[in-house]
Amino acid sequence: MVDLSAPSPTSTPVGALLPDHQSLYKSLDGGATWQPIAPISLKPSDVPGCDPKEWVIAGNGVVAPDGTVYQSFRRCAHLGLAVSRDEGQTWTMREVTGASLPPADVSSIGMLAQIIQNPNWLLTEALAVDDDGTVYALFPDANSTLRLSYSKDRAVTWSTPLVVQAPDVQKSVYGSIAVGAPGKIAISYHGSKDGTAFDGYVAESSNALDEAPRFLSHIVNDPADPLFASDFDSGYAGTCTGGDLNEIIMVKYAPDGDVWASFVKDMCPGVGTATDNCTWDVAAHAKSVYQGVVARLVHR
């Protein structure tokens, strides 16, 4: 089984228009045909104890070897999961213990400004599941520190969240996780040592399920040439002038065991439009201020 989903009728709150539910679909023939499955509510009123001003928005989903479906989502200021054991006919809501996210306030007129200021309101590739059915959750906490937790009992109980960003990183933005084998995981993220310049990071652990796991971390770019020289840019401001968004960072294991990760580099650092101070011709690149970056972690 494979699945896909999208927030409806919108993802980003615009005025009184808020996300209402996550539309989900499944395919049992490798994507040739798709069937709708039960939606997941994105209404704060459907989350017990949730501030009605909060934002509920979904992240990625994964399917375990036993067919259990997990859909991650921002359950107000916590990382939540919707879990289905009947191919999406019914869902059980769970929360990752101790996974507090940066709080949001969608009632503010400055919603767009707040997303620009703290892109960690959005979840990206938060979940992975290994061949033994262990679920891994990667998330930025309320202080934008990247943390990892895992569950061996279908998201019922969780390990204590562990800091997985490099020791000298002060702030992380977004994050993606992939699993190669039980306990062997790779993560990628944008990290900053000074809170201003952001580099691309790839880290890997071969003993993530141990009591004291070890992560080896690498910067993918030349540290003298950061991916974002003047603070991380989510791209929301640029959409007003026809630019694009930067919401996605990914990491995957190749069949040979190497790790591949994708990032973007800001080609117009420190500006609010798509035409000033750029190191490339924006018009020739579909008005994009971003250049794609691919990194490969080779095992010798």
pLDDT tens figures, 51-101: 888 888 888 999 999 999 999 999 988 999 999 999 999 999 999 999 999
Question: If phi over 0 gives left and psi between -120 and 50 gives alpha, with beta otherwise, what is residue 9?
Answer: alpha
112 in a structural domain: yes
Highest-pLDDT range among 15-19, 52-56, 138-142, 146-150: 146-150
At 222, the amino acid letter reads D
Give Cα separations from 47 to 153, 157, 256 (angstroms): 23, 19, 43
Which range has highest mean pLDDT (149-158, 243-252, 262-271, 285-294)? 149-158
How far, in Å, CA of 148 to CA of 209, rounded? 11
Report the pLDDT value the prediction gives residue 276, as an integer from 0 to 100.
66
Out of 101, 119, 137, pick the residue that ends a domain: 119
Q: Which residues of 85-103 are buried (b: 16+ CB within 10 A; e: fewer)?
A: eebbeebebbbbbebbbbe
Sign of CA dihedral 241, 278, 292, 183: negative
* pLDDT above 90 for 175: yes
Same domain, 100 and 173: no
Query: Do 175 and 252 fall into the same domain?
Result: yes
Q: Is the pLDDT of residue 13 over 90?
A: no
Distance of CA 6 to the CA centre of its chain: 14
One domain for residues 93 and 196: no
Q: Cα–Cα distance between 254 and 179 in angstroms, integer?
A: 11
Mean pLDDT of all residues belonging to the chain:
89
Q: Rounded to whole angstroms, how far apart are CA atoms 84 and 87?
A: 6
Q: Is the Cβ–Cβ distance between 123 and 58 less than 8 Å? A: yes
Residue 153 lies in a domain: no
The structure tokens listed for 69 are: 């479906």
Of the pLDDT bands very low, low, confident and very high (cuts 50, 70, 90), residue 279 is confident
Asked whether residue 200 falls in the same domain as residue 81, the answer is no
- Average pLDDT in the 243-255 region? 87
| Per-residue model confidence (pLDDT) at position 218 | 94
176 plus 94 within the same structural domain:
no
Q: Are residues 65 and 189 in the same domain?
A: no
Decide if 198 is inside a domain.
yes
In-domain check, residue 275: yes
| 75 lies in the same domain as 187 | no
Q: Is 134 domain-assigned?
A: no
Among 86, 50, 49, 53, smallest CA distance to 69 is for: 86
Same-domain status, 293 and 179: yes
DSSP 227: S
104 shares its domain with 183: no
| Integer Cα distance of 173 and 157 in angstroms | 26
Q: In this structure, what token pair is assigned to residue 157?
A: 């109980």
Residue 277 confidence (pLDDT): 77
Strands 162-163 and 146-151 turn out to be antiparallel
Answer whether residue 288 shows pLDDT above 70: yes
Q: What is the number of domains present in the chain?
A: 2
Same-domain status, 13 and 106: yes
Same domain? 170 vs 78: no
Identify the weakest region by mean pLDDT among 143-157, 220-234, 237-251, 254-268: 237-251
Closest CA to 248 of 80, 146, 119: 119
In a domain, 152, yes or no: no
Range of the domain at 266: 164-300
What number of other Cβ atoms are within 10 A of residue 84's Cβ?
Answer: 23
Query: Is a pLDDT exceeding 80 seen at residue 121?
Result: no
CB of 214 closer than 8 Å to CB of 205: yes
**Which residue type sits at 129?**
V
Q: Where are the alpha helices (DSSP H) in the chain?
A: 111-117
* 168 lies in the same domain as 299: yes
pLDDT at 223: 94
Closest CA to 292 of 252, 262, 259: 262
Mean pLDDT check: name the lowest of 188-192, 217-221, 289-293.
289-293
